[in-house]
A and B are shown apart, each in its own frame.
Chain A
Amino acid sequence: QVQLQQWGAGLLKPSETLSLTCSVYDGSFSGYFWSWIRQAPGKGLEWIGEIDHSSSTNNNPSFNYNPSLKTRVTISADASKSQFSLNLTSVTAADSAVYYCARRGSGWHTWGQGTLVTVSS
């Protein structure tokens, strides 16, 4: 059964760049959408963006970002390592949240464990 393991820095200062990586174990990296989703403390869920590896032409995956974050977000992937990453630039306190990686098929059916990221000076 596929598992997602994520890691990255948990404490950032304002204006720094958030970087997280998610590794896929016991499952195919190709053929799926790989997403990042966040949840501010005590709040609901917000989709950040995803990389589309669902096509057979995996040399050119496509990307899809939430317009509310698009100018600051980059998602990348290394299929040879079965990993994908999130970069979010110029963070502020409003970006403090638990960040999840997830695999999307008919809904997000597999999730990472979550990483709490706190932005504080």
Chain B
Amino acid sequence: DIQMTQSPSSLSASVGDRVTITCRASQMIMTYLNWYQQKPGKAPQLLIYAASYLQSGVPSRFSGSAFRTDFTLTISSLQPEDFATYYCQQSYSSPWTFGQGTKVEIK
């Protein structure tokens, strides 16, 4: 199975901050990497697919990038509604696997 490792596991930030979350794959997965946002008690929502493509309806302050086996989710200016847990997920090889999550909390 492909292991996905996110860092950090949690972070505290203020509204307006630039936030970066990293995900590393245990092997090459090209750009088969998706990012999700999950709020308490809700299903995850797809933010970014294929490493850098913004899902329809997702604000442009979210962006994704890739370099070899390292992937980054960036929130350019954190908004109150962005406090949530974020997951990366590889869609290169079954079984599809997720990172352990990064919880973004209010500072």
Interface residues of A (CB under 8 A from B): 44-47, 64, 66-68, 100, 102, 106-109, 111-114
Contact = CB atoms under 8 A, between A and B. Distances in A.
Contact of A45 (B44, B49, B91, B94): B44
Interface residues of B, number: 23
Interface string B45-78: 1100110010100000000000000000000000
A44 B101 contact: yes
Q: Binding site of B, secondary structure by majority: helix, strand, loop or mixed?
A: loop
The main secondary structure of chain A at its interface with chain B is: strand
A73 to B, nearest CB: 12
Given A44-B87, A100-B43, A114-B43, A107 B34 contact: yes
B100 interface: yes
A102 B97 CA distance: 15
28 contacts: A44-B98, A44-B99, A44-B101, A45-B87, A45-B89, A45-B101, A47-B95, A47-B96, A47-B97, A47-B98, A64-B94, A66-B95, A67-B1, A67-B95, A100-B43, A100-B44, A106-B49, A106-B50, A106-B53, A107-B34, A107-B55, A107-B89, A107-B91, A108-B46, A109-B46, A109-B55, A111-B43, A114-B43
